[in-house]
Amino acid sequence: MTSLKTTIAGLELETCIYNASGPLCTTAEELDDLGQSMAGAILSKSATLEYRAGNEKPRYYETGWGSINSMGLPNEGYKFYADYAKQAAQYGKPYIVSVSGMGFEDNATIIKHLAGNENIKAIELNLSCPNLPGKPQTGYDFEQSRALLNRVFEVAQQPLGVKLPPYFDMPHFEMMAEVLNDFPISFATCINSIGNGLVIDTDQECVVIKPKKGFGGIGGDFIKPTALANVRKFYTLLKKDVDIIGVGGIKNGMDAFEHILCGASAVQIGTQLMREGTGCFARIAGELQEIMNKKGYSSINDFKGKLKDME
Ligand code: DHB
């Protein structure tokens, strides 16, 4: 029997496919839907200290090849995501909270509060929100990233991983890996959207989302090669006990296969989840199993990370 079971951060997942933080994971109803779906885990929308309404709408736009968003961190505030954990427990799959405080102390406060909660199985610390006007992404500042990790590991109790922005330059991969390898991180999720793209409606000669004069994070087909490169690089550079979680451009079983071949222990679905709803998890899982069957693989460990170089 083909199995899609995996382990991330020491947690067992029945299937290696679940949601990216962002789409359809903000409200209790949305989180319940994820719980009832075939997703292998439930990951929350990035939480801040307080409730946030987010940026002005329209703030998400979908086109043939993918999406652009500048949501501005709409979320219920961390206490809601902490309280929801009890309800999440009924679904029998790990509940993970994404944390994206507006500064070091916000992150520390949130992670300290989550620490005692046994129904929160891990924390994904977001180093890569590109949509806050005037705020640089922490993940592009290596010393800030180090300082933040120093602070949060003083208070973290659950396994903690990081959500990274995409990197494009070889020294940058190495510089970030050097920082991360100095901390007991459990996983690295690669990648967040490619920040600050621009999509245009040529009929209207106008941008398609309202915040930030139309600039926003890009998801979908075009980001897959960048996502695969980031998964591959961090798989080779990070300590071997750090799980890589692949996200970016996955809409079918073959895309998931590619991410795992590059080294991903699990994959997350963003743009395609928005497009298709939670039915995408069962569909992509079925497609991945079919590919594995054809290739004679019975578990993802049979091919995880085994991408070959050319002779
Ligand atoms: C938002 C977007 C992101 O890519 C992210 O990592 C966190 C928040 C947002 O705009 O809500």
**Ordered mean pLDDT values, 10 residues apiece, the chain (311 residues):** 96 98 98 99 98 98 98 98 98 98 96 97 95 86 96 98 98 98 99 98 98 98 99 99 99 99 99 98 98 98 98 91
Task: Give yes or no for a contact between 97 and 120, defined as CB atoms under 8 angstroms apart.
Answer: yes
List, in order, residues 6 or more apart from 162 with CB less than 8 Å away.
124, 125, 126, 127, 139, 149, 180, 185, 187, 188, 189
Distance 296 CA to ligand 1 centre (A): 39
Provide the token pair at 24.
């359809």
Question: Could you state, in order of their start, the residue ranges of all structural domains in the chain?
Answer: 6-54+73-194+221-302
Q: Based on the residue annotation, tell me whether 129 is a catalytic residue of this protein.
A: yes
Pick the residue whose CA is nearest to atom 7 on ligand 1: 129
Query: Selecting from 3.20.20.70, 3.10.450.200, 3.30.70.100, 3.30.160.60, what CATH number does the domain 6-54+73-194+221-302 have?
Result: 3.20.20.70
Q: 48 CB under 6 A from ligand 1?
A: no
Supply the pLDDT for residue 136. 84
Catalytic residue among 16, 129, 190, 280: 129
Q: Which atom of ligand 1 is nearest to the CA of 59?
A: 10
Pocket mutation for ligand 1, best pick of 44, 61, 69, 127 (most atoms within 8 Å of C-beta): 69
Supply the pLDDT for residue 130. 83
Q: Strand, helix or coil at 63?
A: strand
Supply the pLDDT for residue 133. 76
Of 278, 287, 230, nearest in space to 255 by CA: 287
Distance 292 CA to ligand 1 centre (A): 33
Supply the pLDDT for residue 146. 97
Please report, for residues 142, 182, 309, the alpha-carbon distance to residue 150 in angstroms, rounded to integers and kept in the order given: 12, 9, 36
